[in-house]
């Protein structure tokens, strides 16, 4: 018989041996797992750096494209007369938008460069590009204020050359980012080289177009010097065309995005645009058949296709690096989870003697948590002692009570929803009521609420409704209002919503419609109302019309209050102009 003291010592010794073996196993597992984990962590950090590098490279390419693209509307503006009216004003707006895009891209690039240490030379080159850009813009603005006859060919070419110089000064910056991208993400070299080639093609193609602006604007013959520049640029384009990869990634076979755009590029830029340039050069000294503005508008879609294909190239590269980044993160987390699971397993092995108590209690605890979380199904249980069975009986009682409470809560929710629907529905017409509209637009008496998406509003008011009420009574008036509501509901499709705004006034709130589509919808409602008389009874049918005010607000620029005011003003104008018509608000300010 083992004495109690000896038995305790043996038990303690066994426990010590078990703990020592477990600790040794834990140390070995921790060492191996840590080594693997650090490898995945390093891959995760590297993929994050690669992703940042490619994103930066994409940013500098976009800046270069923005500077190149700004020349197109500027060239068109230089070919227009300030007295051209709306065409001149519209092109000024296009130039302003292009400049805003360029300034934003250059600011993003400058902020990126400013965060990189020891990169003063790039900042100098970027500043020089901005200086040339500012000079070119100033020259263009000065020339654009004068009549075409007062613009000398040399002044026009100087302004265009300044814009080209701004893009040329970005070339060292682009090359620096390209080199960094190759060092950090060599697996994407083909895609990045393709994107750079497309960026250069876009620039050289734009330069050829710019070289023809002065002859097409004057018009004058193409000088030998200008012809030599065009030939040189076409030589560069031919070289880049041969360097452009046929397929950037074998895994991309069957994907129509890049392949389709490549085919479109062959037809457009390499086919249509270059052929058009050859024709214009061949007609030098005679009638070109095109002016500068028409030429620029014809070739601009072909140049934009180069940008779109470049975006597809970079999107593919960034997507692949991002997937690598996610895979590394997943492996890192999986390794960490396995390490944690190993520790938990070893700890559980040391406490195996307590499992007959701990496990039933943990399961019961989880079952209680599930009940508290709303999961009412019975979960697996363990343990057969009287104490554990009593605990399970108590949990079953709690579950029955929770089921009853949940049923009562569901009934309460259904009742609340029914009351809410009743509160937001007009009892007479079945349309949403004004309270429902105010739920959408908010409290108009508080601070102005800016539209978060493009919205359209149609306000309509039944014409001469008061005489109908006065002559035939309110019962007939109610019949007319219900008929109006039915016709509005028949015409207005989801997701657009119709409301009874008040009295004989209705509102239709739309999302995502252009002003043209919005007016078409309003006209459909107007025709539905005016096209058929309202049948009151067999002996009485009433012709009914309505007047419409239509307004459209843009996301981030207009407020609900301005939208309502604009539609209301347009409605009053429709009333004043004879009723049974619609007026569209010019703008929502």
* CATH, residue 573: 3.30.70.270
Do 83 and 217 belong to one domain? yes
Over residues 130-158, the pLDDT tens digits come to 999 999 899 988 988 988 888 888 888 88
Higher model confidence: residue 27 or residue 478? 478
Do 140 and 286 belong to one domain? yes
Helix 120-144 vs helix 171-184: angle between axes, to the nearest 10 degrees? 140
Over residues 341-383, the pLDDT tens digits come to 877 876 776 665 555 666 666 666 766 777 677 676 777 766 6
Query: Structural domain of residue 528, as residue ranges?
Result: 434-584
Higher model confidence: residue 530 or residue 339? 530
Q: Is the pLDDT score of 552 beyond 60?
A: yes
Q: Which range has highest mean pLDDT (11-20, 109-118, 214-223, 520-529)?
A: 520-529
Domains contained in the chain, number: 3
Do 396 and 462 belong to one domain? no
**Residue 317 within any structural domain of the chain:** yes
Burial letters for 453-475: b for 16+ Cβ neighbours within 10 Å, e otherwise?
A: ebbbbbbbbbbebeebbeeeeee
What value does the mean pLDDT take over residues 212-235?
A: 87
**Residue 32 within any structural domain of the chain:** no
Do 566 and 462 belong to one domain? yes
Structure tokens at 46: 């590297």
Over residues 177-196, the pLDDT tens digits come to 888 888 887 877 888 888 88
pLDDT given at position 437: 86
**Residue 136 within any structural domain of the chain:** yes
Q: Is the pLDDT score of 46 beyond 90?
A: no
pLDDT category of residue 449 using cuts at 50, 70 and 90: confident
**Residue 161 within any structural domain of the chain:** yes
Structure tokens at 360: 């039933």
Measure the CA–CA gap between 249 and 317, rounded to whole angstroms. 10
Do 418 and 442 belong to one domain? no
Do 226 and 84 belong to one domain? yes
Over residues 285-334, the pLDDT tens digits come to 777 778 888 888 888 888 898 888 888 878 887 888 788 878 878 887 88
Measure the CA–CA gap between 487 and 494, rounded to whole angstroms. 15
Do 82 and 197 belong to one domain? yes
SS3 553: strand
Structure tokens at 543: 């012709």
Instruction: Classify the C-alpha dihedral 344-349-351-356 as positive or negative.
Output: positive
Contacts of 394 (CB under 8 A, 6+ apart): none
Task: Give the whole-number percent of the chain exceeding pLDDT 70.
Answer: 87
- pTM > 0.85: yes or no: no
Name which of 502, 505, 480 is nearest 571 in CA terms. Answer: 505
SS3 452: coil
Q: Is the pLDDT score of 489 beyond 50?
A: yes
Q: Is the peptide bond before 461 cis (omega within 30 degrees of 0)?
A: no
Measure the CA–CA gap between 72 and 311, rounded to whole angstroms. 19
**Residue 350 within any structural domain of the chain:** no
Name which of 12, 18, 27, 29 is nearest 349 in CA terms. Answer: 18
Burial letters for 77-86: b for 16+ Cβ neighbours within 10 Å, e otherwise?
A: bbbbeeeeee
**Residue 578 within any structural domain of the chain:** yes
Do 407 and 541 belong to one domain? no
Q: Comparing 156-160, 220-224, 244-248, 493-497, which segment has the lowest mean pLDDT? A: 244-248
Alpha-carbon separation of residue 134 from 35, 112, 131, 273 (angstroms): 55, 21, 5, 29
**Among residues 504, 523, 533, 554, which one is catalytic?**
504
Residue whose structure tokens are 């040391």: 350
Q: Long-range contacts for 300-304 (Cβ within 8 Å, ≥24 apart)? A: 300/72, 301/268, 302/205, 302/265, 302/268, 302/269, 302/272, 302/273, 303/68, 303/69, 303/72, 303/202, 303/205, 303/206, 303/209, 303/269, 303/273, 304/69
Residue 449 near residue 441 (C-beta atoms within 8 A): yes
Do 186 and 317 belong to one domain? yes
Do 375 and 228 belong to one domain? no
**Residue 293 within any structural domain of the chain:** yes
504 is catalytic: yes
**Residue 70 within any structural domain of the chain:** yes
Instruction: Classify the C-alpha dihedral 421-426-430-435 as positive or negative.
Output: negative
Do 442 and 517 belong to one domain? yes
Structure tokens at 254: 């069957």
Measure the CA–CA gap between 513 and 507, rounded to whole angstroms. 16
543 DSSP 8-state letter: -
What value does the mean pLDDT take over residues 102-130?
A: 85
Bridge-based pairing state of the strands 534-537 and 546-553? unpaired
- Please give the torsion angle defined by the CA atoms of residues 168, 169, 174 and 180, in that order, rounded to the nearest 10 degrees: 140
User: Any alpha helices (H) in 186-267, and if so which ranges?
Assistant: 189-211, 213-217, 224-243, 256-267
Measure the CA–CA gap between 46 and 186, rounded to whole angstroms. 12
Do 417 and 516 belong to one domain? no
Alpha-carbon separation of residue 293 from 50, 75, 237 (angstroms): 43, 7, 23
pLDDT given at position 3: 44
pLDDT given at position 2: 40
pLDDT category of residue 6 using cuts at 50, 70 and 90: very low
Residue 146's CB is within 10 A of a number of other CB atoms, namely: 13
């Amino acid at each position: 018989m083992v004495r109690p003291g000896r038995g305790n010592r043996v038990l303690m010794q066994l426990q010590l041996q078990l703990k020592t073996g477990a600790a040794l196993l834990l140390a070995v597992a921790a060492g191996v797992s840590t080594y693997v984990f650090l490898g995945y962590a390093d891959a995760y950090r590297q993929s994050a750096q690669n992703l940042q590098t490619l994103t930066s490279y994409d940013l500098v390419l976009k800046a270069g494209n923005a500077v190149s693209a700004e020349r197109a509307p500027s060239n068109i503006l230089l070919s227009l007369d300030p007295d051209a009216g709306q065409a001149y004003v519209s092109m000024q707006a296009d130039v302003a938008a292009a400049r805003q895009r360029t300034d934003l891209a250059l600011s993003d690039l400058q902020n990126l460069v400013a965060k990189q240490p020891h990169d003063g030379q790039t900042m100098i080159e970027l500043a020089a590009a901005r200086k040339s850009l500012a000079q070119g813009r100033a020259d263009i603005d000065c020339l654009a204020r004068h009549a075409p006859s007062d613009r000398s060919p040399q002044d026009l070419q100087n302004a265009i050359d300044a814009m080209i110089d701004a893009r040329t000064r970005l070339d060292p910056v682009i090359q620096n980012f390209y080199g960094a991208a190759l060092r950090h993400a060599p697996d994407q070299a083909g895609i990045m080289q393709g994107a750079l080639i497309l960026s250069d093609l876009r620039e050289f193609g734009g330069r050829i177009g710019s070289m023809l602006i002065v002859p097409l604007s004057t018009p004058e013959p193409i000088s030998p010097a200008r012809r030599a520049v065009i030939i040189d640029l076409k030589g560069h384009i031919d070289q880049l065309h041969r360097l452009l990869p046929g397929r950037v990634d074998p895994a991309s076979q069957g994907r129509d995005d890049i392949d389709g755009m490549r085919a479109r590029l062959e037809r457009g830029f390499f086919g249509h645009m270059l052929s058009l340039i050859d024709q214009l050069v061949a007609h030098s000294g005679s009638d070109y058949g095109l002016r500068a503005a028409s030429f620029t508008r014809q070739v601009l879609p072909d140049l934009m296709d180069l940008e779109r294909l470049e975006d597809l190239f970079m999107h593919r590269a960034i997507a692949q690096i991002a997937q690598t980044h996610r895979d590394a993160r997943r492996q890192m987390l999986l390794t960490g989870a396995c390490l944690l699971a190993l520790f938990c397993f070893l700890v559980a092995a040391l406490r195996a003697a307590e499992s007959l108590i701990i496990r039933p209690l943990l399961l019961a605890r989880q079952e209680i948590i599930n009940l508290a979380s709303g999961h009412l199904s019975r979960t697996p249980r363990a343990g057969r002692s009287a104490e554990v069975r009593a605990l399970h009986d108590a949990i079953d009682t709690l579950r029955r009570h929770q089921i009853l409470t949940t049923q009562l809560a569901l009934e309460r929710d259904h009742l609340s929803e029914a009351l809410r629907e009743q509160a937001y529905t007009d009892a007479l017409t079945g349309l949403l009521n004004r309270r429902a509209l105010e739920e959408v637009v908010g409290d108009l008496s508080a601070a102005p609420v800016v539209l978060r998406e493009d919205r359209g509003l149609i306000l309509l008011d039944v014409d001469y409704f008061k005489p109908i009420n006065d002559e035939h009574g309110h019962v007939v008036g109610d019949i007319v209002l219900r008929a109006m509501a039915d016709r509005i509901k028949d015409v207005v499709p989801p997701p657009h919503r119709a409301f009874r705004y008040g009295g004989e006034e209705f509102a239709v709130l739309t999302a995502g419609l252009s002003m043209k589509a919005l007016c078409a919808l309003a006209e459909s409602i107007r025709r539905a109302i005016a096209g058929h008389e309202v049948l009151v009874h067999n002996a009485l049918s009433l012709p009914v019309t309505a007047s419409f005010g239509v307004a459209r607000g843009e996301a981030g620029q207009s407020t609900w209050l301005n939208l309502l005011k604009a539609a209301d003003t347009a409605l009053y104008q429709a009333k004043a102009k004879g009723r049974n018509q619609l007026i569209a608000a010019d703008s929502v300010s």
